[in-house]
Amino acid sequence: MNREERLERMRHSAAHIMAEAVQSLFPEAKFGIGPAIENGFYYDFELPRPLTQEDLPIIESKMKEIIDADLPFIREEVSKEKARLLFATQPYKLELINELPDAIVAIYKQGSFTDLCRGPHIASTGEVKAFKLTHIAGAYWRGDERQPMLQRIYGVAFDSQAELEDYLLRQAEAAKRDHRKLGKELDLFSIHEEIGPGLICWHPKGALIRQIIEDFWKAEHIKQGYDIVYTPHIAKLDLWKTSGHWEFYRDYLYPPMEVEGQQYIIKPMNCLGHIMIYKSQLRSYRDLPLRYAELGTVYRYERTGVLHGLARVRGFTQDDAHIFCRPDQTEAEVMGVVELAKFMISTFGFGDYELLLSTRPEKYAGTIEMWEGATESLKRVLEKLKLPYKLDPGEGVFYGPKIDIKLRDALGHAWQGPTIQVDFNLPQRFNVCYIGADGLEHNVTMIHRTVLGSMERFLACLIEHYGGAFPVWLSPVQAVIIPIADRHIDYTHQVGNELEEEGIRTQVDDRSERMNLKIREAQLNKIPYMIIVGDNEVASSNVSLRLRSGEDIGSQTISQVKAKIRRDIEAKC
């Protein structure tokens, strides 16, 4: 048994132990399910009263008693009949029993607690070495919002106290990288109750980072044969009826507004504008592929409970593009997009990401042949590029299969970023065609794609990835010049001007404050270079260089410093 399997078994057993503890405190508890998860476990309960944070230590100490008693886990196999009797007061367990395919089901007992469970488990409760209950949350029975909401207790468990403490410490460190916290501390963006939830105000420093990314994005897209376009933020409702969005996507749309007797809505997607541009002329098969790219701001109504800083908002800018191509070009185009996405996110330092290939859902547009053909193309691209990916069966959008790339935030939550979606629906609904070599009209294949996801979510991940210490090329302030005493101020401005002329974003800190305070603030603002000047520097026409790592490089000529900063900017690291 490898480490992961052993840990999973132990964590699952910890869930049973927690269930026993809860049962002893609430004899009338009804039990849902209690699996192992990454780093720990949870169990869902229906209880006579809401749990509070204060209940957790009580449950923990009860769990410790059970662990200290070192009770064996005993597996038994019983008939469904017997299981129904055993769990007669447990409606959720009965529901599970009824759905199990076999006539015989497994149960596990430890101490006074018996659970319907496939197993496997550890030999006895004493094998749980280190655990902690972390939080309580509501969770729908079977993850279905029409079902009752149960109370879920989450815990973490490890092989040793040291590993547990290490994990908790890492979580605490990760919390410091939270983009919502850093966004405020580094003065990057804000969200206002007065404006509305999920709507972002970008402050000068955050806007500057975004602008650098957008400039880079545009330049790379132009290199890759994309054409930059702009399309309106509102459009007639009829357009969205034709596209099917009004029918399939209505819950996410802001209600229509009436203008001159016509209904308009704010766009939730950019595709329709791009289609209109495509359709403004007759297109020959020789013109394809056409790639229209737009940093397009869209608005979607998201339920209040799902909003999260920059990562899940109601107004966001997609780094969108739509590729119109012939079916025989699809694979090459998807290949180009995957490579571009890989290049973009690796430029921003993301090495660790997940690729998912989603296939045909139950409700779908187009024919099975179209789906299979496109899904195979996507698969071949991933295989040719030797990219490891997971299949996400049935999770495609109704209009076509897709490849998603997920980026992780500081706390390990995976957010969908780049996405590449083949679309069989819109070309038909809008009759998006080209004239083939045969002189006849053919539907184009349309590919919707982003290579960052959205500026908001990407920035959220980026802030957390770097913990706010952005690489030099993205740092809003790249160098701060700090005089030791007021008599050095003239010289700091002189140095500052030289750096500015070199295109380095420089700030001269000429406030009447002590150098130590200025260094501290520069550190807290995660400014990459601190350039300190005092009597020695003025006398020698040099500067003293300190890095945000804390490293004191010491005396350098101004041209040495300029060259170093330029090199670091160009290396994008």
Partner RNA sequence: GCCAGCGUAGCUCAGGGGUAGAGCAGCGGUUUCGUAAACCGCUGGUCGUCGGUUCGAAUCCGACCGCUGGCUCCA
What residues are annotated to the active site? 271, 300, 318, 320, 322, 402, 448
- Smallest distance, Å, CB 523 to RNA? 4
Site residues (CB under 7 A) for RNA, limited to 188-227: 191, 193, 196-198
Using the rule CB under 7 A, is 506 a contact of RNA?
no
Q: Which residue lies nearer to RNA by CB, 14 or 469? A: 469
Alpha-carbon distance 188 to 209, whole Å?
9
Which one, 122 or 527, has the nearer CB to RNA?
527
Minimum CB separation of residue 173 from RNA in Å reads 14
Contact between 364 and 371 under an 8 Å Cβ cutoff? The reply is: yes
* Nearest distance, CB of residue 182 and RNA, angstroms: 12
One residue of 69, 517, 563, 573 binding RNA per CB under 7 A:
517
| Least gap, CB of 118 to RNA (angstroms) | 20
Stretch 60-99 residues interacting with RNA (CB under 7 A):
none
* Least distance between RNA and beta carbon 555 (Å): 7
**How many binding residues for RNA (CB under 7 A)?**
76
What is the distance between the alpha carbons of residues 224 and 556, in angstroms, rounded to a whole number? 41
Nearer to RNA by C-beta: 6 or 514? 514
- To RNA, the closest distance from the beta carbon of 539 in angstroms equals 8
The DSSP secondary structure of 34-85, one letter per residue, reads --EETTEEEEEEE-SS---TTHHHHHHHHHHHHHHTTPBPEEEEEEHHHHHH
The answer to whether 306 touches 251, Cβ cutoff 8 Å, is: no
State yes or no: residue 515 binds RNA (CB under 7 A). Answer: yes
- Cβ proximity to RNA: between 249 and 285 the closer is 249
What is the smallest separation between the CB atom of 47 and RNA, expressed in angstroms? 10
Angle, in degrees to the nearest 10, between helices 330-347 and 368-384: 50
CB of 271 or CB of 288, closer to RNA:
271
Which amino acid would we find at residue 346? S
With 0-12 / 13-18 / 19 or more C-beta atoms within 10 angstroms meaning exposed / middle / buried, residue 162 is exposed
Residues 37 to 66 in contact with RNA, rule: CB under 7 A: 50-53
Question: Which of 165, 166, 486, 490 lies at the binding interface for RNA (CB under 7 A)?
Answer: 486
Nearest-CA neighbor of 320 among 429, 208, 421, 432? 421
Per-residue string for binding with RNA, 524-563, x by CB under 7 A?
A: x-----x-x-xxxx------x-x---x-x-x---------
* Helices 3-25, 55-68: inter-axial angle, 10-degree rounding: 110
Residue closer to RNA, measured from CB, 454 or 506? 454
Of 10-18, 205-213, 256-264, 513-521, which segment contacts RNA by CB under 7 A? 513-521
What's the closest the beta carbon of residue 193 comes to RNA, in angstroms? 4
Residues 424-483 that bind RNA (CB under 7 A): 450, 453-454, 456-457
Identify the helix (H) or strand (E) that includes residue 382. helix 368-384
By beta-carbon proximity to RNA, the closer residue of 91 and 361 is 361
Residue 28, classified by CB atoms within 10 Å of its CB into exposed (0-12), middle (13-18) or buried (19+), is exposed
If the CB atoms of residues 84 and 308 are measured against RNA, the closer one turns out to be 308
- Rounded to whole angstroms, how far apart are CA atoms 531 and 117? 64
> What is the Cα 14 distance to its own chain's centre?
29
Residue 323 Cβ vs RNA, minimum distance, rounded to whole Å? 16
Query: Strand pairing partners for 397?
Result: 400
CB 129 within 8 A of CB 159: yes
Contact segment (CB under 7 A) with RNA among 59-67, 79-87, 90-98, 407-415 equals 407-415
Distance CA 533, CA 484 (A): 6
Q: Which stretch binds RNA (CB under 7 A): 56-64, 431-439, 471-479, 523-531?
A: 523-531
**Within a 10 A sphere around the Cβ of 190, how many other Cβ atoms?**
13
The nearer residue to RNA, 106 or 174, going by C-beta atoms, is 174
Interface segment toward RNA; rule CB under 7 A; list 26-34, 82-90, 331-339, 510-518: 510-518
Among positions 40, 111, 396, 417, the unique one binding RNA when judged by CB under 7 A: 417
Task: Please report, as residue ranges, which positions from 133 to 162 form the binding site for RNA (by CB under 7 A).
Answer: 135-140, 143-145, 149, 151-152
- For the bound state, the minimum distance from the C-beta of residue 537 to RNA, rounded and expressed in Å, comes to 6
Angle, to 10 degrees, between the axis of helix 330-347 and the axis of helix 204-223?
Answer: 140
The answer to whether the beta carbons of residues 288 and 338 sit under 8 Å apart is: no
- List the one residue from 6, 75, 176, 487 that touches RNA (CB under 7 A): 487
Are the beta carbons of 119 and 106 closer than 8 angstroms? yes
Please, which of residues 290-319 interact with RNA by CB under 7 A? 300, 302-309, 312-314, 316, 318
Question: Within positions 337 to 366, which residues make up the interface with RNA, using CB under 7 A?
Answer: none
Q: Which of 24, 416, 443, 560 binds RNA (CB under 7 A)?
A: 416
Residue type, 143: G
Taking CB under 7 A as the rule, which mask of x and - marks residues 236-265 in contact with RNA? ------------------------------
Residue 236 or 312: which CB sits closer to RNA?
A: 312
Q: How far is the CB of 49 from RNA (least distance, A)?
A: 9
| SS3 per residue for 166-202 | HHHHHHHHHHHCCHHHHHHHCCCEEECCCCCCCCEEE
Closer residue to RNA in complex, CB, 74/524:
524
Site for RNA contains 398 (CB under 7 A): no
**Residue 551: half-sphere exposure toward Cβ, Cα within 13 Å:** 5
Q: Cα(401)–Cα(368) distance, rounded to whole angstroms?
A: 11
For 102-166, give the secondary structure using H, E and C: CCEEEEEEECCEEEECCCCCCCEHHHCCEEEEEEEEEEEHHHCCCCCEEEEEEEEEECCHHHHHH
**Residues 380, 390, 520, 567: which binds RNA (CB under 7 A)?**
520
Q: How far from the centroid of its chain's Cα atoms is residue 347's Cα?
A: 17
